[in-house]
A and B are shown apart, each in its own frame.
Chain A
Amino acid sequence: MQAVFKRTAGLLNIPTHYCPGCTHGILHRLIAEAMCELDILHRTIGVSSVGCTYNNYEYFACDMVQAAHGRAPAVATGIKRVHPSKSVFTYQGDGDLAAIGTAEIIHAAARGEKISVFFANNAIYGMTSGQMAPTTLIGQVTTTSPFGRDPDAQGHPINVSEMMATLPGAVYVERVSLHDYRHIIQAKKAVRKAFRVQEAGLGFSLVEVLSTCPTNWGMDPPKSMDWVAEVMIQQYPLGLFRDPKLEESK
Chain B
Amino acid sequence: MPMPRVKFNQDLCKGCGLCVSVCPQRLIQVQKRRLNDKGLHPVYVEQVDRCTGCGMCATICPDLAIEVWR
Residues of A within 8 A of B (CB): 1-8, 11, 15-16, 18-26, 29, 180-181, 184-185, 214, 220-222, 225
**B40 contacts across to A, CB distance below 8 A:** 20
- 20 CB contacts below 8 A, A to B, read A3-B68, A4-B4, A4-B54, A4-B69, A5-B55, A5-B66, A5-B67, A15-B63, A16-B63, A18-B62, A19-B14, A21-B18, A21-B62, A26-B61, A180-B22, A180-B60, A181-B60, A184-B59, A220-B17, A221-B17
**A220 contacts across to B, CB distance below 8 A:** 17
Say if the beta carbon of B50 comes within 8 Å of chain A: no
Q: How far does the Cβ of A230 sit from chain B's closest Cβ, in whole Å?
A: 15
Bound Cα distance from A228 to B10, whole angstroms: 28
CB pair B14 A20 closer than 8 Å: yes
Say if the beta carbon of B12 comes within 8 Å of chain A: yes
**B70 contacts across to A, CB distance below 8 A:** 1-2, 4
Interface centre among A4, A11, A185, A221 (most CB of B within 10 A): A4
Q: Given contacts A4-B55, A22-B62, A26-B60, are A221 and B67 in contact (CB under 8 A)? A: no
CB pair B69 A20 closer than 8 Å: no
- B63 — nearest CB in chain A belongs to which residue? A25
Q: Bits for B2-29, please: 1 = Cβ < 8 Å to A, else 0.
A: 1011000001101111101110000000
